[in-house]
Chain A
Amino acid sequence: MTETKTPRLSRRTLLQGAGAAAGLAAGSGVVTGFPAIIAAEPVTLRYLGTAVNQSGDIARKVKEDLGITIEYIPVVTDEVSKRVVTQPNSFDIVDSEYFSLKKLMPSGNLVGMDARRIKNADKITPVFTKGEVAGKTIGDQGTAPKKVFYLEGQNSTKFASSPTEWITLIPTTYNADTLGIRPDLIKRPISSWKELLNPEFKGKASILNIPSIGIMDAAMVVEATGDYTYPDKGNMTRPEIDRTMKVLIEAKRAGQFRAFWQDFNESVNLMASGETVIQSMWSPAVTKVRSQGVACTYQPLKEGYRAWASGFGLPKTLTGKKLDAAYDFINWFLSGWAGAYLNRQGYYSAVLETAKAQMEPYEWAFWMEGKPAEKDIKAPDGTVMEKAGAVRDGGSFEQRMGAVACWNSVMDENTYMVRKWNEFIAA
């Protein structure tokens, strides 16, 4: 019918019609219960996030299972928040770190996710919902996900203190970070964060050049030396920032650091080439160094881990079919395949039981239970990551996530901290 009518329509009326149709679709998106007929017309979701979770395998599998095309927009962590705040129309789904939420939610550009539309919402690990692992409360200094997990209402910019049906981010991956070391060059056991600034490793240590994370690693060192105990490492006062920076500046002037690293590959190269022997690191980077045949350990330390978590958020502007597709994609993501895929890389997935169903028992035993590998452990692309008999550094999920001391965060005194960090770099 429209076809016969179109020639007589002016551009303006056509646009009005389209607007009305879009409005109608928007309305239907809010009222739940309509089955999404995605196979009929392909939907493309623009997926904004860091490259960490954006794997081609996941995109292919989604296309296969749901018919949704995932278009990745890979940027660095800081750029994710910048985009959400400044260009909220440039993506359909965002994979952001929880600590960014403190600046993202007040902008009003993200919307609370309807927990009733997430099938496995009640199965999401209590790490997020209650801050617990196996019934035991874990460290919640910094921006622990449980503090920012729920919103007071769908369009609220306030975090709720008790569970509601509006979720800020549905977790994709999370992990517990610690120091990576070269056991072949250090030749003695390392058990504390304070070793990072031990003069023994002068010119052979490194930290991240991301101020908010770098300063927390430094705070772990300060606490480990017994110098000072922070009420909250993830939210320091000005005097605490000064104190921490002083320690860092002294170490830098003494030549403790070989370099600071900013991205994944830099950290791999520093470690693999022997420029550094001890540095803050990410789990897959350690795996990558090891896959080059270089000994590298993701060393568990007695003071615990610094954890991080990221998850899916939806922009307020998302409506209609795209909104349905986004919910379908998130439901698919929690349904197991993706979780197993991420677990096999050393990350943790949000819904453990669905991921377990998609993993071989020996894989689950190695990655999640901290047991020696029965067979060679292979990466998703088939390369051998660990030989049979190897044990995961730090042990099981409960041991690793249970020993979390603090979470990546944005401090209230963020501006001051960034200024002090620049001072540290200039020192």
Chain B
Amino acid sequence: MSTATARVPSLPEAAQAAPALPGLAAETRRQRRLAYWQAMPLGLVFLAFFLVPLALTLIVSFWEYNEYEIIPAFTLQNYADVFEGCLSGADLCTTFRTYLSTLKFCLLGWAATLTVGFTVAYFVAFHVRSTAMQTVLFLICTIPFWTSNVIRMIAWIPLLGRNGLVNDTLMGLGVTKAPIEGLLYSDFSVVLAFIHLDTVFMIVPIFNSMMRIDRSLIEAATDAGATPWQTLWNVIVPLCKPGIAIGSIFVLTLIMGDFVTVGVMGGQQIASVGKVIQVQMSYLQFPAAAANAVVLLGAVMVLIGALTRLIDLRREL
């Protein structure tokens, strides 16, 4: 801006345009200021509730602590503790083991929610003809959100338990002789809960992408002799990529940071990074918890970075 206004008087050949230029520049300046003003409330909210806490977490992760206080200092001990034994290589260290378990649930949860979410979205978007019905079905998908997460999880326990409904039914029908123990407090029950809790975050963006697909493209594919499967794979799936990517980011970040679902459905026997942080917080080991949080943040960012490498979200949107 300043260079433009400085240049104007020094260029005599532009004298004719000169009367218009300052006005234009002032107008752009005003517009720009306005844009900053408009972005400011959100910017301030981000600053106060996102950047400042994040910076504090980062700072505290380098502090020392004892039983009852945290001491400003600069130490890498907390990070050393996080990765204790990780370099010896003989046995997997706690942190790697925990992340591996979390990654496993990410993968299982992601694959399951994607399959279910895509199928549901596909059905509602392409097989249901009337818009009214689509809206109704779409709203039905959100019904689970009317109750709390924890209640939705706990509701599974009487169903899956050793003497639960499922085992009783199976034994009553003579399908199994003894109750299936693995139904509850196992990887299975954790993934089941993730599907129940997180599928909606997959359905919504995928459904949104599908609704934006020009129907004539599908007609064209059919006219060109594509089978329904070919249409699905070569037309619909590529066009749904942004929806799939957004849904995946939602689901993956939810699972990465979760410790309640893994705790309740895994009988507190399955490790999760969130749980490690919670235990440390409850013993007032804030710097150790902060170091773990920073490492978790890094891991999630790497994951999201890899995802956006696969799909250029900005271009697709």
Q: Interface segment, B23-31, B35-43, B119-127, B157-165?
A: B157-165
Interface bracket on B:
20 to 34
Of B69, B161, B268, most A-chain CB atoms within 10 Å: B268
Taking a contact as CB atoms under 8 Å apart, the answer to whether B68 and A418 are in contact is no
Give the residues in chain B near A104, CB-CB below 8 Å. Answer: 68
Give every chain B residue within 8 A of A415 (Cβ-Cβ): 283, 285, 288
Closest to A102 in B: B67
Q: Which of A102, A426, A427 has the most CB of B within 10 A?
A: A426
Which residues on B sit within 8 Å (CB–CB) of A275?
A: 161-162, 184-185
Give the distance to chain B from A249, nearest Cβ to Cβ, in Å: 11
A72 at the interface (CB under 8 A from B): no
- B284, A81: Cβ atoms under 8 Å? yes
Q: In the assembled complex, which residues on chain A have CB atoms less than 8 Å from the CB atom of B282?
A: 76, 78-79, 82
Given contacts A106-B68, A269-B157, A275-B161, contact A422 B285 (CB under 8 A): no
Interface string of A91-132 (1 = CB under 8 A from B): 000000000001110110000000000000000000000000
| Complex partner residue of B268 from A106, A260, A422, CB under 8 angstroms | A260
The yes or no answer to A221 lying at the interface (CB within 8 A) is no
CA distance A273 to B184 in the complex (A): 12
A8 at the interface (CB under 8 A from B): no
Q: Is the CB of A260 within 8 A of B269?
A: yes
A-B pairs with CB below 8 Å: how many?
A: 87
Q: Cβ of A107 and Cβ of B69 under 8 Å apart?
A: yes
Interface of A, helix, strand, loop or mixed by DSSP? helix
Q: A257 in the interface, Cβ–Cβ < 8 Å?
A: yes
Interface string of B72-100 (1 = CB under 8 A from A): 00000000010010000000001001100
Q: Does A421 contact B (CB under 8 A)?
A: yes
Is B219 interfacial (CB 8 A cutoff)?
A: no
Cα of A275 to Cα of B158 in the assembled complex, Å:
11
Q: Tell whether A261 pairs with B268 under 8 Å between CB atoms, given A211-B279, A273-B162, A426-B98.
A: yes
| Interface residue count on the A side (C-beta < 8 Å) | 36
A259 to B268, CA, bound (A): 6
Query: Which B-chain residue is minimally distant from A418 (CB atoms)?
Result: B283
Out of B67, B162, B263, B279, which one reaches A106, CB within 8 Å? B67
Chain B 100-113 per-residue mask, 1 if CB under 8 angstroms from chain A, else 0: 01000000000000
Q: Which chain B residues border A410 with CB–CB below 8 Å?
A: 67
Q: Does A371 contact B (CB under 8 A)?
A: no
With A274-B162, A418-B279 already in contact, the answer to whether A82 and B68 are too (CB < 8 A) is no
Residue B144, interface by CB 8 Å: no
Distance from A23 Cβ to chain B, minimum over Cβ atoms (Å): 28
Given the complex of chains A and B, what is the CA–CA distance between A274 and B29 in angstroms?
72
CB nearest to B282 among chain A residues: A78
Complex Cα distance, B94 from A269, in Å, reads 30
The interface residues of chain B lying within 8 Å CB-to-CB of A107 are 68-69
**A78-B283, A425-B268, A426-B97 given; A273·B67 CB < 8 A:** no
In the complex formed, the residue of B with least CB distance to A273 is B161
Query: 8 Å CB contacts to A: which residues of B140-163?
Result: 157-158, 161-163
Contact with B along A221-261 (1 / 0, CB 8 A): 00000000000000000000000000000001000011111
Residue of A203, A257, A414, A423 with most chain B CB atoms under a 10 A cut-off: A423
Instruction: Looking at the assembled complex, report how far the CB atom of A414 sits from the nearest CB atom of chain B, in whole angstroms.
Output: 7
Contact with B along A404-419 (1 / 0, CB 8 A): 0000001000110011
A203 touches B94 (CB 8 A): no
Question: In the complex the two chains form, is A209's CB within 8 Å of B67's CB?
Answer: no
Q: Is B267 an interface residue (CB 8 A)?
A: yes
Give every chain A residue within 8 A of B134 (Cβ-Cβ). Answer: none
A58 contacts B by Cβ under 8 Å = no
With A and B bound together, what is the CA distance between A259 and B262 in angstroms? 12
Q: Indicate if the CB atoms of A274 and B67 lie closer than 8 Å.
A: no
**Contacting pair B268 A273 (CB below 8 A):** no
Answer yes or no: A262 CB below 8 A from chain B CBs. Answer: yes
From B67, B94, B263, give the contact of A426 (CB < 8 A): B94
- Chain B residue numbers with a CB within 8 Å of A425 are 268-271, 275-276
A76 to chain B: closest residue by CB: B282
Interface assignment of A85: CB less than 8 Å from any CB of chain B: yes
The answer for the CA separation of A103 and B69 in the assembled complex, in Å, is: 9
User: Whole-angstrom distance between the alpha carbons of A260 and B184 in the complex?
Assistant: 13
Docked-complex contact B67 and A414, CB < 8 angstroms: yes
CB of A269, distance to nearest CB on chain B (Å): 7
**8 Å CB contact of A421 from B81, B101, B164, B279:** B279
- A209 CA / B162 CA spacing, docked (Å): 21
Instruction: Tell me the B residues contacting A by CB distance below 8 Å.
Output: 67-69, 81, 84, 94, 97-98, 101, 157-158, 161-164, 181, 184-185, 263, 267-271, 275-276, 279-285, 288
19 A-B pairs, CB-CB below 8 angstroms?
A78-B283, A82-B282, A258-B185, A259-B267, A260-B269, A273-B161, A273-B162, A273-B164, A274-B162, A275-B162, A275-B185, A410-B67, A415-B288, A418-B285, A422-B94, A422-B280, A425-B269, A425-B271, A426-B94
Closest 6 CB pairs of A and B: A259-B267, A78-B282, A426-B271, A260-B268, A103-B67, A423-B94
Known contacts A106-B67, A261-B268, A426-B94; can you find 9 more A-B pairs with CB under 8 A?
A: A82-B282, A106-B69, A259-B269, A273-B158, A273-B164, A274-B162, A419-B84, A422-B275, A426-B98
